[in-house]
Structure 1
């Protein structure tokens, strides 16, 4: 029998989280009690600190109880979906329910069946709450350990051991939540939806950047020569592209004498348009013109932007939000990624240089770049 185990899994997960916090609190109190008997010269201020941590422990337990109650009440509605989609069959091997392996639900793991929005939102929220809980517990217990290290060194050592154990449990919980997203039957839909929505945005940008008649198109001119580093300039270019998208203008990039390549952007990356890269002889109005609706606009650097439009970061196109929120917890991160995906398309020579450098350095996938 194909079994939907998401509801049972989340109940167990909530119970594990509550027990995890209880063990940390109880262990800390037990260690404190033992050390108090061993070292009778303990300062009286520790008693006050103990009461304070007991209160915080109670607040954390209440917080987790609230999470678990929400999980149990919602049930994510997945079992109801399963009843409609899966025909029950007699199991070939008799196993106890708790021993059934947690495997992807192949019968509903397809690209056409989408999960309820509440389920996706709750799944991501639980993951974030587990991380936040660990940050809170870890930081508070570390503070306690530092305060006790000189007065009660034995207790401090025990707290270190407890923290390491708790950290292992935290990693385990996050891993289980990640696995949950793979076995709940909706992973294929998430991947396909992300691909389809990305393709939609790329087609929109391509359409905007390749008007039928360049001489009649609304244009927005953006200079790349901002006096800052490469990452800063890419941020600036992304902001130009977002404003062009929001005002429905074709973005014209002025990259002459670019500090990183005198030949300009188009010799390093693909041009932003196949047929409209020159601003021509038309007159241009300095932003914002008349509410950004002028035929041709000249965009200043973001530092000097007056009357900033509503679609600057962290805004996301309104029509994308309902679909985007179902598979991504941080919509703007995805949106800016799509803008950069369109902008940063290397020329063949650039791609060759990148590949040669990657081979020389021994890069292996996946690779994550971070701007600090």
Structure 2
């Protein structure tokens, strides 16, 4: 039999979620009628919907097969028009809000609270589901059947709540500002990077840094090494010169795959670079591996530039990931042949949305850097995403698509056999080329680049952050989506940058330990986090008291590392250019 305490526990949680849901579903904005183009589109769509509805009424009395097919076709068209009508109305509301008092965008506190509510809701789900399953293990078979219904109901209510939270950005009137701010900051960053890499003076007359991509590890690892160098180059205002001859992925070098980083700063101007210890004075400094820099400087990953920090923190839930995505946008500009390859593949596979990306890493990672995760562990979160997406768009019909990237070809067969109601994109030949005996070389590199590209184009990622490929895809994704920090579900680690400075969080409320291995802390304490267990608890240590162990994830918030970096005063962008 269920314990009385367990019943009250479930009732309390359900009422709490219902209360939040009621609050969010009443949160809306009222558009005004000032945008002529959007108003005309709304009027047209409304008339089309009414016309189709009249046709449907006339046709529904018919019984022959052709008439029924026409009814079905018109019904689909009607639904599509209704969905477009909703989107146009939301866009009009957002634009109107921007003109009538929201030109400066939402308050920082509003954006932080909106993101915090999503994070807290997910943490509540991790904790509650984990505890419910633990209780389930101790029940009789009869009670397990009843308890499974409780778990299912809680999970469903949680999804409804997340759908409401994610729809906030569609109705709060600020989405146009977010899109414009994303584009504005991106254009500013790319202008700065172009200026950095192509100085107005002869390159030999400016201080510069050199970096060798040949770290002797996998593609994601070597790209992150180059990113570490590029991050330092940006912070110091020194152009980066990249050495890549004999690169294991393409012996001809980096520039055969991606566009050259500079028109006038060549490797000949970076010979004989000084050791890192002279980075403040030497003309040319060689950037070592991030793990070999001691002590680390505050401007190193995961820091963001101080002069952009306020804008980045308001724009994005993980400002460093957005900043890194912009560095990658410049670093990994494809050569024309690679652009053609990506576009052809996009057309060949008929890539469509909505779509979720999963990256299943096996081979060398399992047992050394990561645990084995069955396909079902990934697909659980894929299914959650699609249920939430349907709740966000109740009248929309769609196919459930997954882009599957893996280094184990058998995963495709396993996934398609177990989840027949999904459409799986992906290429077993690419998976085969990622095997250990064929991983290094230009053909294998093409497969890796295709996988990263399409993973970054998905709406949501499910992967292991212990994999650098997963982290690269997540970083590249941020170039395209607005505030996409939430668009990932890792199965193991939290996001990190290898060799980073300390990853700290701040306790915004005190905690009294009452769970095994849990430690107490006070409001304001700095917690060094070592990872999220995705069960309501994270592992870490209190920098104030020195205690280590587990702590409730929902009582802490991320500390964004902000550092003084070069401010690029020579880069001027007019407002109308943004």
* In structure 2, C-alpha distance between the alignment counterparts of 1:281 and 1:209, rounded to whole Å: 13
Match of 1:94 in 2: none
Shift of 1:350: 1.5
Matched, 1:235 2:224: yes
Shift of 1:137: 1.0
Distance 1:157 1:60, change over 3 A: closer
Matched, 1:272 2:261: yes
Is contact 1:225–1:233 with CA below 8 Å preserved after alignment?
A: yes
Is contact 1:221–1:279 with CA below 8 Å preserved after alignment?
A: no
Equivalent residue runs for 1:240-279 within 5 Å: 240-279=229-268
Matched, 1:203 2:191: yes
* In structure 2, C-alpha distance between the alignment counterparts of 1:309 and 1:360, rounded to whole Å: 47
Distance 1:172 1:57, change over 3 A: closer
Matched, 1:112 2:103: yes
Equivalent residue runs for 1:112-261 within 5 Å: 112-148=103-139, 152-212=140-200, 213-261=202-250
Matched, 1:321 2:309: yes
Query: TM-score of the superposition, structure 2-length normalised?
Result: 0.47
The counterpart of 2:341, out of the listed 338, 353, 369, is: 353
Is contact 1:268–1:347 with CA below 8 Å preserved after alignment?
A: yes
Shift of 1:279: 3.9
Give the secondary-structure state (helix, strand or coil) at the position aligned to 1:253: strand
Structure 1: unaligned runs, 5 residues or longer: 1-30, 33-46, 88-100
Shift of 1:211: 1.0
Comparing 271-280 with 211-220, which one deviates more in the overlay? 271-280
Distance 1:281 1:158, change over 3 A: closer
Is contact 2:98–2:105 with CA below 8 Å preserved after alignment?
A: no
* In structure 2, C-alpha distance between the alignment counterparts of 1:281 and 1:198, rounded to whole Å: 29
Equivalent residue runs for 1:8-27 within 5 Å: none
Is contact 1:210–1:273 with CA below 8 Å preserved after alignment?
A: yes
Is contact 2:212–2:243 with CA below 8 Å preserved after alignment?
A: yes
Shift of 1:120: 1.1
Matched, 1:337 2:424: no
Deviations 1:189-230 (Å, cap 9, x if unpaired)?
001001101111111111111112111011101001110011
Matched, 1:284 2:308: no
Question: Which structure has the bigger radius of gyration?
Answer: 1
Deviations 1:281-315 (Å, cap 9, x if unpaired)?
7642111215x442210111223223322122221
Shift of 1:363: 3.5
Distance 1:174 1:63, change over 3 A: closer
* In structure 2, C-alpha distance between the alignment counterparts of 1:244 and 1:62, rounded to whole Å: 52
Is contact 2:197–2:240 with CA below 8 Å preserved after alignment?
A: yes
* In structure 2, C-alpha distance between the alignment counterparts of 1:58 and 1:358, rounded to whole Å: 48
Deviations 1:302-351 (Å, cap 9, x if unpaired)?
23223322122221111111111212111111111111111110000121
* In structure 2, C-alpha distance between the alignment counterparts of 1:58 and 1:171, rounded to whole Å: 17
Is contact 2:105–2:174 with CA below 8 Å preserved after alignment?
A: yes
Distance 1:311 1:196, change over 3 A: same
Is contact 2:210–2:270 with CA below 8 Å preserved after alignment?
A: no
Query: TM-score of the superposition, structure 1-length normalised?
Result: 0.71
Give the secondary-structure state (helix, strand or coil) at the position aligned to 1:220: strand
Comparing 168-177 with 220-229, which one deviates more in the overlay? 168-177
Match of 1:14 in 2: none
Is contact 2:241–2:270 with CA below 8 Å preserved after alignment?
A: no
Give the secondary-structure state (helix, strand or coil) at the position aligned to 1:147: coil
Distance 1:251 1:159, change over 3 A: same
